[in-house]
A = this chain, B = another copy of it.
């Protein structure tokens, strides 16, 4: 997730026409106020959530349970509480016990962003034509899901609803594994002898720099993603490793036809993404 980290935002359409935000650090709160990202900037999660119609918790997924515990008692009748975490199963398990039955918990994951985080990393078009996935647990109030759907649509996103387990599997492939691989290769390069490492930076335009962009993403956020979607990530990594061993074998035995077939197939995938307007 690429919303400002360590941030809880709330909207109260009745008593306050304008949004309220908070963040863990005073420096972030100050910056949120300077950028006028919210009209009210308050000091605690509890204060941000009190009396709100809708609360969106944007924190590293490992912190979502503790934040829900602070917010839960403040949620008013019928309030919608949501999040923006990249993992849904673990977040639901962590947050749900703290949410009173008179409020509606609708977990969400806007699949959009850059490697930057914090209040300065936002921009108006961030969610335009990107997908936001809602994973309401069974029995969630349909009207609350519909309201949150319209919220994300108003921000420019397309909205899809699926179950949390399926979300975690799909995102393990489209987001978590790519990040793991990028972090890994950049780390491998960092371990090279000093002279060579300098050259890696210099000649990074050959492909490496695209990985470094991804590998510059927030360490806390990504640590939590991997710890909280462990099984799906390790399962996808197993498939990735098996394929990589096969490709390495083709290189080792000089099997050009196998390499050519593989590379032709992946090119077609790129075309599908361009057609899906996600390129």
Contacts and interface: CB of A to CB of B under 8 A. Distances in A.
Interface residues on A, range: 35 or more
Interface string A178-218: 11111111111111100010011111111111111111110
A46 B173 CA distance: 49
B185 A177 contact: yes
A210 B209 contact: no
Given A174-B208, A252-B230, A186 B219 contact: no
A240 interface: yes
A139 interface: no
A36 interface: no
Contact of A189 (B201, B213, B269): B269
12 contacts: A111-B206, A174-B207, A176-B207, A177-B185, A187-B266, A212-B273, A216-B266, A216-B271, A217-B263, A223-B256, A230-B251, A230-B252
Main secondary structure of the interface of A (DSSP, over half): helix
A187 B270 contact: no
> Top 4 closest A-B pairs, CB basis?
A175-B206, A216-B270, A219-B263, A178-B207
Nearest to A179: B207
A128 to B, nearest CB: 11
A206 B222 CA distance: 12
Interface in A203-255: 203-217, 219-220, 222-224, 226-227, 230, 233-234, 236-237, 239-241, 243-244, 247-248, 251-252, 254
A220 B259 CA distance: 9
A133 to B, nearest CB: 7
A227 to B, nearest CB: 6
Interface of A: 62, 86, 111-113, 115, 130-131, 133, 160, 169-171, 173-192, 196, 199-217, 219-220, 222-224, 226-227, 230, 233-234, 236-237, 239-241, 243-244, 247-248, 251-252, 254, 256, 259-260, 262-273, 276, 278-279
Contact of A187 (B111, B130, B243): B243
Given A185-B181, A212-B273, A171 B206 contact: yes
A222 B190 contact: no
A211 B243 contact: no
A262 B184 CA distance: 8
Given A171-B206, A234-B248, 19 more contacts: A170-B200, A174-B207, A175-B207, A184-B240, A184-B244, A187-B247, A187-B265, A191-B239, A191-B243, A201-B269, A201-B272, A203-B278, A204-B273, A205-B278, A207-B214, A213-B270, A215-B266, A216-B266, A237-B248
